[in-house]
Structure 1
Amino acid sequence: MKIIYITQHFPPEIGAAQGRAYDMSSNLSKLGHDLHVLTTFPNSQPTKKVFKKEKVNNLSVYRSFRIRDTKTSTVRRLANYLSFMISSCLSGLFVKKVDIVYATSPQLFQGVTGYFLSRIHRAKFVFEIRDLWVDFAELLGQFKNKKLLNLARKLENFLYNKADHIIVVTHGYKKRLIDLGIKEDKITVIPNGVNPSSLNQLVTNHTNSVKQQYAIEDKFLVLYAGNIGAAQGLDTIISAAEQLKHDPSIVFMFIGGGVEKQTLMERARTLQLSNVIFIDSKKKEELASYYDAADIGIVSLKKHPLFEITIPSKVFDYMSMSIPVLIGVDGEAREIVEKHHAGFYFEPENPTDFIRSLKHAQNNPNVLKEIELNVKQELLQSFNRETQAKELSEAFTHLTNRNDKELQKKTTSF
């Protein structure tokens, strides 16, 4: 069937959203579907182009205009979202005879594009919820205007109700939608995961070069790689690093960017923490050597019930690279780590408990070695994106078959 896949985040951009979009669309294509990806130009690359169509493997990719997000202004970010919503609505008109319009969020306005194009093409509208965008925006103080918040909630509920089917990434998200009045049989859970083929492409055995580069050959390397934002609660890790600054055996490394990075760097400088290293964002292939050098990887979110139904993609990133996980997220994410013997839990936003868990891991090298040997296979058995693409394809087929049966009934009754 012909599928429009709407995602503002797509390679060569770096991040979890981009990875999921590329892997899922590629795997759907391998299953025989005709994929047309509506995306935009990389935010890191200034461009005056309004539209570009290209082939990425077997995917037809349509890049359309957006106002660049500077990541320093809420107004600018909103303009970025809305400009892509409008331009993707236009680029979606170039695709003909569509069966499924699949829109992924965040951000929420991609759902508007999905709904609009599904009406134009008389196709089924499937809405993927990877983030409770409005709830998180309110929690993190990104929506301070109550009128705007209420409008966002109304739009969210409108899209939930208009979608022919909804894909969510956690069982907690599914329960939350059911509590909002969405029928259970309208929701399918397809969590994040990893593409088996991508594991074989990553370069390894660079441990010594990375540790030599930073003169930390004899250190226990604690890695955080990802968004350094308001939700991650990484100030806890800086507090722990301060308490451990006289322990010569441990060093912390942060790789990535985000709204909180500058604040964390300034605090580390003020505290004169020589055991903390900050590095700019890296491409996936560049990250492989840092992953290989790490002794353990941090997954952290603030302490709040909403985050207990969230599974950060970093859990799967670390597991896919055979890195033991130090997880400061309760709920579903913690259950995955503990069920698959992938690492150690610490209470979110509790530096003392973080240190307890970290030292326990450091003092049990045999356990760490066992995790490194087995965790990748555990991941592939339960969170394989090739298998997940088949589940998504089945959901699409069920949806279109149901539509055919409904049309047949109407024709017969007429």
Structure 2
Amino acid sequence: MKKIAFVAYFFFEEDGVASLRARVLSDELKKRGHDLDIITKKSFGEKAQNSKLLWSLQVFRHLMRKDYDKLFVTCGPFWHLRFILSACLIRKKKFIVDIRDPWSANLKEGFGGNQPRASEKVIKRAEFWEKIMYKYSEHIWAVTEGMKESHKEVVGSTDKFTVVYNGHDIDVDRYADVSTEKNDVLTYVCLGKFVEYGHERAERALKKLRDVNQQAGHDYIIEFIGTNEELTSPIIKNLGMEKHVRFIPRMPYQEAIMRASKADIGLGMMRNEEIEHGTKTFDYIGLGLPIFDCFTKGSLFHQFFEPYLTLTKTVEIPLETRRKFSRRNIFKSVIDVFEE
């Protein structure tokens, strides 16, 4: 049994889908008998929760005092990482860093072009701490090959990196008997954010969806579950797709998954197809839903997910594939690093 300081700033369901990865991993570590000290945004009270600096100082103080064998930290955010790594270096503790999103790469590219490029000062500071992270860490996890390779320019090597795919936390057997022919009207479903990943990308994706269905003579409907209606509606109206769209308010994750399982094809986008896979992508696969192909042919994302992409045809995804991408199965293949 190991005593593990487990830092997951975003850990609760209210924090969105990004928190699922941390919760599933913590469950698997507990099943292995490890003693976890789980540190979240709520760990140091309301005042610290409302101040990045105060929370960072509190986590540094906590890690300097507590007894633990090694530390695990999942990022983002990244603003606390310098305090966490400093505590580990001072105390000579082993640490594992889980990178759900790249740090300096996103700053350089403006998060897929959705924001301005960060200043050189901010980028250099991020690169400095990435080098420290790489030099002294025991293991670094990245969620895609592209994300792993994006660090080579900064740290010079990726030997410490392991690709640990995001995966899904869906009970595949619960949806094992889902038919590929479920609806009289071809139904697409989008879970969560859409336009936030790029207005022009969103418009191109929806135009393509409209056009391929018109060419095939299909009636269709898109269900946006928990998607920002205010941002999305102008694009829908501009494309004349109002009668083909239904907005459904945000709901608890399991309810959203149940609703999505009744659709035929999943819909989503990436900010950067060279370094991202997306969470909802694996949710669709877990449900047995193929994914609407609005991606750039030849991108790393397109190459990886090509067997599961479609336009208007329903595609059966084997149960074996759906189980392979379960978070719990993915973690079982790498969890031994906590016991080294």
TM-score range, shorter chain: 0.7 to 0.9
Q: Secondary structure of the residue that 2:36 maps to in structure 1?
A: strand
Indicate whether 1:126 and 2:80 are aligned: no
Determine the C-alpha separation between the residues in 1 that align with 2:206 and 2:294. Answer: 14
Q: Residue 23 of structure 1: CA displacement?
A: 0.5
Indicate whether 1:276 and 2:242 are aligned: no
Q: Number of residues paired by the alignment?
A: 326
**TM-score between both structures, scaled by the size of structure 2:** 0.81
Determine the C-alpha separation between the residues in 2 that align with 1:203 and 1:83. Answer: 47
Deviation per CA, 1:68-88: give whole Å up to 9, x if none: xxxxxxxxxxx6x55543343
User: What does residue range 134-153 of structure 1 map to in structure 2 within 5 Å?
Assistant: 134-137=104-107, 138=110, 139-153=113-127
* Alignment-derived partner of residue 379 in structure 1: 322
User: What does residue range 172-211 of structure 1 map to in structure 2 within 5 Å?
Assistant: 172-195=146-169, 198-199=171-172
* Alignment-derived partner of residue 396 in structure 1: 338
* Alignment-derived partner of residue 157 in structure 1: 131
User: What does residue range 43-192 of structure 1 map to in structure 2 within 5 Å?
Assistant: 50-51=44-45, 65-67=48-50, 81-92=52-63, 96-119=66-89, 121-137=91-107, 138=110, 139-192=113-166
* Contact residue 192 and residue 226 of structure 2 kept, 8 A: yes
Task: Work out which of the two has the higher radius of gyration on C-alpha atoms and give 1 or 2.
Answer: 1
Q: Residue 225 of structure 1: CA displacement?
A: 0.8
Q: Residue 203 of structure 1: CA displacement?
A: 12
Q: Secondary structure of the residue that 2:261 maps to in structure 1?
A: helix
Equivalent pairs: percent with the same residue? 22
Q: 1:82 to 1:220 in 2, by over 3 A?
A: farther
User: What does residue range 19-34 of structure 1 map to in structure 2 within 5 Å?
Assistant: 19-34=20-35
Deviation per CA, 1:157-182: give whole Å up to 9, x if none: 33333433211112222233234334
Q: Secondary structure of the residue that 2:255 maps to in structure 1?
A: helix
Determine the C-alpha separation between the residues in 1 that align with 2:150 and 2:212. Answer: 40
Q: Secondary structure of the residue that 2:24 maps to in structure 1?
A: helix
* Contact residue 241 and residue 276 of structure 1 kept, 8 A: no
Which deviates more, 25-34 or 111-120? Answer: 111-120
Q: Residue 201 of structure 1: CA displacement?
A: 7.0
* Contact residue 5 and residue 101 of structure 1 kept, 8 A: yes
**Root mean square deviation of aligned Cα:** 3.4
Q: Secondary structure of the residue that 2:149 maps to in structure 1?
A: helix
Q: What amino acid is the match of 1:393?
A: I
Determine the C-alpha separation between the residues in 1 that align with 2:129 and 2:263. Answer: 43
Q: 1:158 to 1:6 in 2, by over 3 A?
A: same
Q: Residue 30 of structure 1: CA displacement?
A: 0.8
Q: Residue 26 of structure 1: CA displacement?
A: 0.9
Question: 1:223 aligned to 180, 189, 202, which one?
Answer: 189
Q: Secondary structure of the residue that 1:300 maps to in structure 2?
A: coil
Q: Secondary structure of the residue that 1:180 maps to in structure 2?
A: helix
Q: Residue 190 of structure 1: CA displacement?
A: 1.4
Give unmatched runs, 5+ long, in structure 2. Answer: none
**TM-score between both structures, scaled by the size of structure 1:** 0.68
Determine the C-alpha separation between the residues in 2 that align with 1:332 and 1:231. Answer: 17
* Contact residue 118 and residue 125 of structure 1 kept, 8 A: yes
Q: What amino acid is the match of 1:287?
A: A
Q: What amino acid is the match of 2:280?
A: K
Q: 1:5 to 1:226 in 2, by over 3 A?
A: same
Q: What amino acid is the match of 2:185?
A: K
Determine the C-alpha separation between the residues in 2 that align with 1:19 and 1:293. Answer: 22
Determine the C-alpha separation between the residues in 2 that align with 1:182 and 1:396. Answer: 25
Q: Secondary structure of the residue that 1:185 maps to in structure 2?
A: coil
Q: Residue 27 of structure 1: CA displacement?
A: 0.5
Q: 1:328 to 1:146 in 2, by over 3 A?
A: same
Q: Residue 50 of structure 1: CA displacement?
A: 4.8
Q: Secondary structure of the residue that 1:221 maps to in structure 2?
A: strand
Determine the C-alpha separation between the residues in 2 that align with 1:245 and 1:379. Answer: 27
User: Looking at both structures, which has the greater relative contact order when contacts are Cα pairs under 8 Å and sequence separation is at least 6?
Assistant: 2
Give unmatched runs, 5+ long, in structure 1. Answer: 42-48, 52-62, 68-78, 206-210, 212-216, 345-357, 399-414
* Contact residue 103 and residue 113 of structure 1 kept, 8 A: no
* Contact residue 100 and residue 143 of structure 2 kept, 8 A: yes
